[in-house]
Amino acid sequence: MAPSEERPLLVLLPGLDGTGLMFASFLAALADWDTQVVRYPEALVSYAACTHFARTQLPKGRPFLLLGESFSGPVALALAAERPEGLRGVVLCGTFARNPRPGLAWTGPLLRLLPPLRLGPGMVRFLLLGRWATPPLMDLVRRLLPAVPKATLRDRLLAAMAVDQTPLLPALAVPALALAARHDRVVPPAALRHLRAHLKGLDIVTLEAPHWLLQARPEAAAQALRDFLARIGPPVRPA
């Protein structure tokens, strides 16, 4: 593995909550790696707004990797398609290029009409963690849930149901890694098959994990990133 000063900065784009709070265990597993967490303001709910905000946070003058978790996969794909200077690769974690549950698209109008519902710890545990719901992770969940307005979660969910970044995929010019969870109850395998069909050379690592794989298997996910960086090699230095 390259020394830390030769590694690209890892820029992390968060899931639906936008806070980055749930990256804590993964960041601890990457303690020897420079990282930057992008945190979306709660008012940003569309993919256009989140992408614009994330674009303003990208580093200048140094190489970086871009990691998009779940909701942020389409943000990472949009930014990568712009080919920003310094981008070395894209990591897609439990995510999608288009609505991962097209069969539920009919519920969108209902979600707009109904008052937003608060997800409880039990539902989060079932959907996102399963048998990996340790007491420390559930403590983080209890801190997270009150921090995000219910309307923000609903509107970002609606954005995910309408997004389709498939036309952008041919524009990606950097290596891409997909981290997939074998026990994902949110994003089905069809979403990964769609990415693989449109991203030639996509590197795929599947972990025994739930949807929140960075949280449940932080060391394994960190090793997958180190292996990916070793495969793509160091940046080309100018003569």
In a domain, 167, yes or no: yes
Which of 67-71, 188-192, 233-237 is predicted least confidently?
Answer: 233-237
> What's the start-to-end Cα distance of the chain, in Å?
23
In a domain, 238, yes or no: no
Q: Are strands 203-207 and 176-181 parallel, antiparallel or unpaired?
A: parallel
How far is Cα 148 from Cα 155, in angstroms, rounded to an integer? 12
In a domain, 237, yes or no: no
In a domain, 126, yes or no: yes
The tens digit of pLDDT for each residue in 37-92 reads 999 999 999 999 999 999 999 999 999 999 999 999 999 999 999 999 999 999 99
Mean local confidence (pLDDT), 213-237: 89
In a domain, 56, yes or no: yes
- Asked if residue 65 lies in contact with residue 36, where contact means CB atoms within 8 angstroms, the answer is no
Picking from 191, 179, 175, 163, the residue whose alpha carbon sits closest to that of residue 216 is 179
CA distances from 184 to 48, 62, 93, 135, 141 (A): 26, 34, 11, 20, 18
The CATH number for 183's domain is: 3.40.50.1820
User: What is the structure's pLDDT at 121?
Assistant: 86
How far is Cα 116 from Cα 151, in angstroms, rounded to an integer? 6
In a domain, 68, yes or no: yes
pTM for the model:
0.91
Mean local confidence (pLDDT), 225-234: 90
11: its two tokens = 């820029």
Query: Containing domain of residue 181, as a range?
Result: 4-232
The tens digit of pLDDT for each residue in 157-178 reads 999 999 999 999 999 999 999 9
Picking from 222, 227, 221, 189, the residue whose alpha carbon sits closest to that of residue 208 is 221
In a domain, 117, yes or no: yes
In a domain, 168, yes or no: yes
Q: 69: buried, middle or exposed (CB in 10 Å: 19+, 13-18, 0-12)?
A: buried
How far is Cα 79 from Cα 58, in angstroms, rounded to an integer? 9
Q: Per the structure, how many domains does the chain have?
A: 1
Picking from 91, 25, 32, 29, the residue whose alpha carbon sits closest to that of residue 228 is 91
The CA-CA-CA angle for residues 84, 89, 95, to 5°, reads 105
